[in-house]
Every structure is written in structure tokens, then in C-alpha cells.
Amino acid sequence: MSRKPYVREMTSEWITRHPRYLRYLLREFSCLFIGGWTLMMVWGLARLAQGPAAWAAFLETLQSPASIVLQALALAFAVYHAVTWFNLTPKALPVQLGDEFVADGVISGAHFAVWGLLSLVVLLLAGAF
């Protein structure tokens, strides 16, 4: 390509310009924790396939202070991701009944209710109590 397209310079200065930019970035950083935790689970599956001793060692790794801190952080970020995601559902999935649109709170509220119920069912089925 012989032409030289103009590329506007971009810095990360915008982050601190407004609190909502910071919250946006915080939401986006949830991907590091969700992705990291998922990779840890893949590692766990590999250990499970290696037998009881390997699985026991994996469970022990979960108990190290560093892993507890990371998992607590991951939980906080995962919940933040879920809350922001469900709050956006009325924008992504507007529902029209007749001439009227269903109120935003009903759509996101339904998602929050299903989320709570599903989490409870998973905890019960997994024998967490």
C-alpha cells in the first residue's frame, strides 16, 4: 500500500476522565478473571482424567491462600459481569406486546430471578449445603 492512512493517536488517558469510563473498564476486565478461572477448570478436568491422586492434588491447590484470593476476586468480577449483562438485556432484547414495549425492569428483573433460581438449583444439585 503506497498511501499513508491517517491513524489518530490513541492513548489510555480517557480512562480517568469520567467514573463511568473506569466502571466500563472494570467490567471489561472481568474477562481476565472469567477466562482465567475457566482455564483453571480445564486444568482441573485434565487432573481429574489422571486419577484420584491428581484430583486430590488439584483440590489441595484450590485451598492455597493465593488461589482463594484469586477465586474471591474472580467471583466478584463474575457477579459484576452478570449484573451489568442483565441490566443491558432490555436494550438487547426489547419485547413488544401489542403497541407497548415491556418495561425495562421487567425484562432485566426476569433475568435476575432466573439467575438466582438457577444458582440455587446448581448449589442444591451439587450438594453444596
* Chain positions contacting another protein, by CB under 8 A: 7, 10-12, 15, 25, 28-32, 34-35, 37-42, 45-46, 48-49, 52, 55-56, 59, 62-63, 67-68, 71-72, 74-75, 78-79, 81-82, 85-86, 92, 114-115, 118-119, 122-123, 125-128
CB of 102 to another protein, least distance (A): 18
CB of 98 to another protein, least distance (A): 27
CB of 100 to another protein, least distance (A): 25
Q: Which residues pair with 97 in a beta bridge?
A: 100
Q: Which residues pair with 26 in a beta bridge?
A: none
Q: For another protein, which is the closer residue by CB, 92 or 100?
A: 92
Q: For another protein, which is the closer residue by CB, 98 or 119?
A: 119
User: Distance between CA 95 and CA 35 in Å, rounded?
Assistant: 31
CB of 82 to another protein, least distance (A): 4
What burial letters (b/e) apply to 46-57, b meaning 16+ CB within 10 Å? ebeeeeeeeeee
CA atoms within 13 A on the CB side of 55: 6
In the block, residue with C-alpha cell 406486546: 97
User: Distance between CA 37 and CA 61 in Å, rounded?
Assistant: 13
